Amino acid sequence: MVNYPQSDLLKSLPKQFFASLTAKVGEKLEQGHDVINLGQGNPDMPTPEHIVKSLQSAADNPQNHKYSPFQGFPYLKKAAADFYKREFDVELNPETEIAILFGGKAGLVEIPQCLLNPGDSILVPDPGYPDYWSGVALAKAKMVTMPLREENNFLPVYNELSADQLNAAKLMFLNYPNNPTGAVANQDFFQETVDLSRSHGICIIHDFAYGGIGFDGIKPESFLQAEGAKEVGIEIYTLSKTFNMAGWRVGFAAGNESVITALNLMQDHLYVSLFGAVQEAAAAALSGPQDCVKELNSIYESRRNSFISGLREIGWDVQAPKGSFFAWLKVPEQFTSEEFADYLLDKAHIAVAPGIGFGDFGEGYVRAGLLTSEDRLKEAVARIQKLNLF
């Protein structure tokens, strides 16, 4: 077999963090261990029945067996715009301010390639979703990190950035409710971000993947609710988390017309649009009954309360997330985040994600997903207690 070398571009991409985590878990499973996997962000419950039935019906329609319109069916864009009006009181033009995406990740990785030239600067949260780095690498851009610290409620402090950094930056990624920290942002912060954007010409990309998951009676706020936000940036919404549709690979971007145009142009060269039946199901999710969203949110909140209270009872000083389905947990002082993740996997057969995998400021933490039953989360607490760490 001829071994063809990979391109320099492929070699420049960051290591896929979750691939190595999956491999470690796989080894334990192959050895016959009962692993409680809290390390990944894959929703564990099925897609609501009315959405599945919509797909099944739409798959029978021969019109959906053809190529879809390149930029998606108008009915799905309208459903997305109506969803934003109903849920966040944000007005969107479905034809010019909505782009259909092959899942939120696709949009996040494409955006830097759409708007940046090699060497251009982009502001990225640290810790943050590792696939932001992939988009930066593909665009051959320069990444400047914004530390997220517990004492600042895991929000970036803009005055920590120098004038040169702000003036050079062309893009900024934000993500609230936040992965991995579970922090949330309010309109004061988003308004500050809009003002910063206007002052320095920075396009804001808000990753709203966990927009449907908020706790303690507080609904996550949309960046686009801030005055002028639609003029300076976009928000990327995925159906993966809100509707348990991770494997369906469908989401959308909403906001600034020029960014939406650029995204559509990029995708015109990469794809013909999503399978029509998936688009019909996505429209059914956005436009249909939202009881399933409330029920899912309630399940995650119950899991959070059970898990966090259990960890506190065994002496682990941890904070409860305010949104998302992740808990961000401080590791004992004698461990690095990777050492502690390996220790839990080896000694208790519990998989968590080491914080260093999300950036330098993730060191000192591990991320645990609330993506298994309460009984399994309680079992995880019991296993940790037996380690006598706290």
Q: What is the pLDDT of residues 204-229, one digit of tens each?
A: 999 999 999 999 999 999 999 999 99
Q: Which stretches does DSSP call E strand in the chain? A: 36-37, 98-101, 121-126, 142-147, 169-175, 203-207, 233-238, 251-255, 326-330, 350-351, 353-354, 365-369
Q: pTM higher than 0.75 for the full model?
A: yes
Which stretches of 48-160 are DSSP H helices? 49-59, 74-88, 104-115, 131-138
- What is the predicted pLDDT for the residue at 276? 95
- Tell which residue, 343, 318, 342, has the closest CA to residue 330: 318
Least confident of 23-27, 267-271, 293-297, 317-321: 23-27
Which pLDDT value is given to residue 235? 98
pLDDT tens column, 221-261: 999 999 999 999 999 999 999 999 999 999 999 999 999 99
Look at residues 166, 110, 137, 145 and name the one whose alpha carbon lies nearest to residue 16: 137
Look up tokens 């686009």; give the residue.
Answer: 224
pLDDT value at position 370? 96
Give the per-residue pLDDT at 150.
96
Query: What does the buried/exposed string (b/e) look like for 274-301 if buried means 16 or more CB atoms within 10 Å of the residue's CB?
Result: bbbbbbbbbbbbbbbebebbeebbebbb
Per-residue tokens: 237: 């919404």
The pLDDT-based confidence of 20 (bands split at 50, 70, 90) is: confident
Predicted confidence at residue 141, as pLDDT, reads: 96
- Which tokens is 60 given? 């029978």
User: Residue 214 gets which letter from DSSP?
Assistant: B
Rounded CA gap, 351 and 353, in Å? 7
Residue 357 has pLDDT above 80, yes or no: yes
Amino acid 103: pLDDT:
94
Please give the share of the chain, as a percent, with pLDDT higher than 90: 91
pLDDT at residue number 272: 86
DSSP code at position 181:
T
Whether the pLDDT of residue 21 is over 90: the answer is no
Half-sphere exposure of residue 254: CA atoms within 13 angstroms, side-chain side: 29
Query: What domains, with CATH codes, occur in the chain?
Result: 15-44+292-385 (3.90.1150.10), 49-287 (3.40.640.10)
Mean pLDDT of the chain: 95
Residue 18 has a pLDDT of 76
What is the mean pLDDT of the segment spanning 286-290? 95
Give the contacts of 324 (CB within 8 A, at least 6 positions apart). Answer: 177, 178, 179, 182, 210, 213
Q: Which of 126, 124, 120 is nearest to 142 (CA)?
A: 120
Q: How confident is the model over 369-373, as a mean pLDDT?
A: 95
In the predicted structure, residue 16 carries a pLDDT above the cut 80? no
Cα separation of 40 and 369, whole Å?
Answer: 6
183-208 confidence digits (pLDDT tens): 999 999 999 999 999 999 999 999 99
Residue 128 — very low, low, confident or very high, per pLDDT cuts 50/70/90?
Answer: very high
Among 382, 388, 232, residue whose Cα is nearest residue 307:
382
With cut-offs at 50, 70 and 90, classify the pLDDT of residue 19.
confident
